Structure 1
Amino acid sequence: MKFTKYILVLLVAFALNGCGVYNFTGAQPINAKTFQVNYFQNNADLVEPGIERTFTLRLQDLIQNQTNLNLTNSNGDLVYEGEITRYSVTPMTATADIRAAQNRLSITVNVRFTNKNKEEDNFEKSFSFFDDFPADTQLTGAQLTSSLDVIFERITQDIFNESLAKW
């Protein structure tokens, strides 16, 4: 009976010891309290007005929602900055009469990440993604919003994974 109690206590101790590092977002524990997302300029050859602001806000929102870090305007422990370097629309598939059946919106964002507390985590890297849409649809209004949602969700999650989740 006494032996069983000791084993039970040891099992509980080991189980509780292993629970401190994991969380549901995949973010690793870091020695930071604040983050800063500088405004991402739109340096693409083809410029769609307003997407730089949308992207900047989406990145801020994702980090705020998936971590307990506080957003700051200056002197952040973690700093995200960069620029949109590519915005292009290209035909992807053709019909029998040689017309585009589907177009692809592609966006590339160059990101510089700085971790002031752990310099080996710093990086500069390009992230890109795309969304295909019917060629008979104009890339304005609801279609543009939908495509940007798909693309920015993927790019911001990739940036989060690279900088905080280490996947």
Structure 2
Amino acid sequence: MRLLAVSFFSFFSRRAVSYQLIAFSLLLSGCGIYSFNGTNIDPAVRTISIGTIQNSSPQGPAFLTQRFTEDLKDYFQRNTNLKLVPRDGDLQFDGNIVAYDFSPASIQKVNGVDQAGSNRLTIQVKIRFTNTKDDKQSFEQVFQNFDDYPGTRNIATINSDPSAVRTTTNKIITDIFNKSVANW
């Protein structure tokens, strides 16, 4: 009899946990705007268009326009279920790179002469985001980030190294994503 009671309780407690999990997942999916990748996208939003992000700064490597635009597209495609369309998406991005600057990040004395201990690459990107389904979420904002490099590293080598520049642009792309669809 005791074995029967334990089996009965075990069966129903497992079933209760199953029902709780089902109810929880229905609750989340019933809201329709939450996903496990951190986005907060209305279910009516199905498409995204990302215009070419032009480099309007007087500096910067030749590959910057194409690389930034493609990395932005890739990031949204990896992290959302939105369909990328050439134009007139439910979510629309366009903008330009407004600053690409190197400056000394730390000064140190070497043999009595001030020299840069490190150089800072700062990139600023102005983004216009339009949410055609909810204009209150639309914005225009400058996103900025930077990385420091040893003072001994030649600035020209950093400019010609797509992976070095990409570390900075990836931070900006994450900020754009968070502001537009994660609402962080």
TM-score by length of 1: 0.87
Distance, in Å, in 2 between the alignment partners of 1:22 and 1:74 is 26
Alignment partner, residue 163 of structure 1: 180
Contact 1:105-1:147 at 8 Å conserved across structures: no
The within-5 A match list for 1:48-67 is 48-67=61-80
Q: 1:145/1:16 Cα in 2 relative to 1: closer, same or farther (>3 Å)?
A: closer
State the shift of 1:54 in Å: 0.8
Distance, in Å, in 1 between the alignment partners of 2:120 and 2:94 is 26
Alignment partner, residue 28 of structure 2: 19
Q: Which of 40, 43, 56 is equivalent to 1:28?
A: 40
Q: Which of 102, 108, 111 is equivalent to 1:95?
A: 108
1:148 and 2:165 aligned: yes
State the shift of 1:96 in Å: 2.1
State the shift of 1:123 in Å: 0.3
Alignment partner, residue 133 of structure 2: 117
Q: Taking every aligned residue pair, what percent have the same amino acid on both sides?
A: 30
Task: List structure 1 runs of 4+ shifted beyond 6 angstroms.
Answer: none
Distance, in Å, in 2 between the alignment partners of 1:15 and 1:117 is 28
- Give ranges in structure 1 of 5+ residues lacking alignment: none
- Matched residue type, 2:175: D
Larger Rg: 2
- Matched residue type, 2:162: T
Distance, in Å, in 1 between the alignment partners of 2:68 and 2:148 is 19
State the shift of 1:141 in Å: 4.6
RMSD: 2.4
